[in-house]
Amino acid sequence: ERAELEALLDAPAMTLDGIHVRLEANIELPEEAELALKAGADGIGLFRSEFLFMGRADLPSEQEQYEAYSRVVKAMKGKVVTIRTLDIGADKTLDGDATVATNPALGLRAIRYCLDKPEMFATQLRALLRASQYGQIRILIPMISSMNEVHASRQAIESAARELEKSGTPFARNYLLGAMVEVPAIAIAIEPFVQELDFLSIGTNDLIQYVLAVDRGDAEVASLYDPMHPAVLRLIAHTINAADRAGKPVAICGEMAGDASVTRMLLGLGLKEFSMHPQQLLDVKKEVRLSHSNALRVKVASALNRAERIDLATLAA
Ligand code: PEP
Ligand code: MG
């Protein structure tokens, strides 16, 4: 079966009715970029930068981050590289950070944490702008829940650019700015965010947790953590439709995107950009190539309208 999948490496990720799908890789370490390329990824859809910050006593310097981001950008040879700014807090903590939030998933995490520590954020942003000389970088902001955070992020990036300019450090301003859609509030009221940003990436891991009020890491409630809940699927559909109307790209980078058993369902929701672990890429591509996108869209839309659970068996070939 491995050989059958490997034969798909150079085959296009295209449905039977001719819809092209982008299949990208999620990585956590710079050296995984090579793995992504080998798996035939169209780009990096999510580089979780927090792994440069975890399991150590100090913070990575601007130079260290610049080297890590540049390495990924160069390795991808002109393909788009989406780098997520530090997503710390909740299930990912920094060593030596003694803060214990009462409710970490709802606390000072991700962009909230970064805006609270402007010098640390500025260091990362300068490193990103310097690395963007070598290719196309998309800066992805995690846990956005308000337009204020979008504006504050953009201002922080522009002020990092001015600092680099002042010191005569080479960098590029060609970055694209996007947000993770993982807080229900922005999925519900998505339109202004679509207008303001260059791209979106739906973080279903957290979106499911927050929509269903089920801790994503708590084994006691794991059976309630339901990616197929109609409320979750409606929010995903709503986000994809808004992005489509505005002509902006939208991906899913949560675990769902790499689960070949739901590929047809996601195609039915209109998804055209999937980001996943590199090892899952060929399985998903195989499903895409066996799918008829328009037929799936009709089936999924009618189930969603009735707010019914979608029976995956009804979507099979
Ligand atoms: C997500 O929330 O779906 C996501 C991709 O990010 P993480 O799993 O790192 O929170
Ligand atoms: Mg997340």
Q: What is the DSSP string of 212-266?
A: HT--TT-GGGGGG--TT-HHHHHHHHHHHHHHHHHT--EEE-SGGGG-GGGHHHH
What pLDDT does 48 receive?
98
* 212 pLDDT more than 70: yes
Would the pTM count as exceeding 0.95? yes
CB 65 within 8 Å of CB 84: no
pLDDT band, residue 99 (cuts 50/70/90): low
Mean pLDDT of 44-49: 98
* 224 pLDDT more than 70: yes
* 226 pLDDT more than 90: yes
Mean pLDDT of 220-241: 97
The ipTM value here is 0.99
What does residue 144 show for φ and ψ, rounded to 5 degrees? -65, 130
What pLDDT does 131 receive?
98
- Say yes or no: CB of residue 50 within 6 Å of ligand 1: no
User: Which of 48, 141, 201, 214 to mutate to test ligand 1, by most ligand atoms within 8 A of the CB atom?
Assistant: 48
What does residue 176 show for φ and ψ, rounded to 5 degrees? -110, 145
Instruction: Give residue 206 CA to ligand 1 midpoint distance, Å.
Output: 6
Whose C-alpha lies nearest to ligand 1, atom 7? Answer: 205
* 90 pLDDT more than 70: no
What does residue 301 show for φ and ψ, rounded to 5 degrees? -60, -40
What pLDDT does 142 receive?
98
If one counts every other C-beta atom within 10 angstroms of the C-beta of residue 94, the result is: 17
What pLDDT does 91 receive?
67
- Closest CA relative to residue 21, chosen from 308, 271, 294, 286: 271
What pLDDT does 98 receive?
64
Q: How far is CA 131 from CA 17, 125, 172, in A?
A: 38, 10, 8
Instruction: Work out the mean pLDDT of the chain and round it to a whole number.
Output: 96
